[in-house]
Amino acid sequence: MYVLTGALTFSGGEDVAHTLQAHGRAVLVGETTRGGAHPTDRHAVSEHVLVAVPAARTISTVTGGNWEGVGVVPDIAVPADQALDAALKAARAAAGS
């Protein structure tokens, strides 16, 4: 399986990509993701100010870590607009075509 990622891939999309990659179930193709692994709760400090506070922490059973602040790094790094072509090329090569 090939999963396309980009600089705008965030949170739940990163979780799917990271988990599939860590378990050896997918090859990630594209750009490093944004790096949002910790769900947050928002708290009003005043009428016009909200503070986002991490409320949980995602920990991979495979890697023991997560992608917070660093993003998920693709196996095949290319600009997002070239990811589909790169994934198709890699898939063809893996299939021997």
Q: Residues 4-54: pLDDT tens digits? A: 999 999 999 999 999 999 999 999 999 999 999 999 999 999 999 999 999
* Architecture in CATH for domain 2-95: Alpha-Beta Complex (3.90)
The HSE-up count of residue 78 (CA atoms within 13 Å, CB side) is 17
Whole-number Å distance between alpha carbons of 17 and 47? 37
Ordered DSSP codes for 82-94: GHHHHHHHHHHHH
Per-residue pLDDT at 74 exceeds 90: yes
Phi then psi dihedrals of residue 84, to 5 deg: -60, -45
Bigger pLDDT: 97 vs 27: 27
Provide the pLDDT for residue 9.
Answer: 98
Residue 63, beta-bridge partner list: none
* pLDDT at position 97: 77
| pLDDT greater than 90 at residue 69 | yes
Within the chain, where are the H helices? Answer: 12-22, 83-95
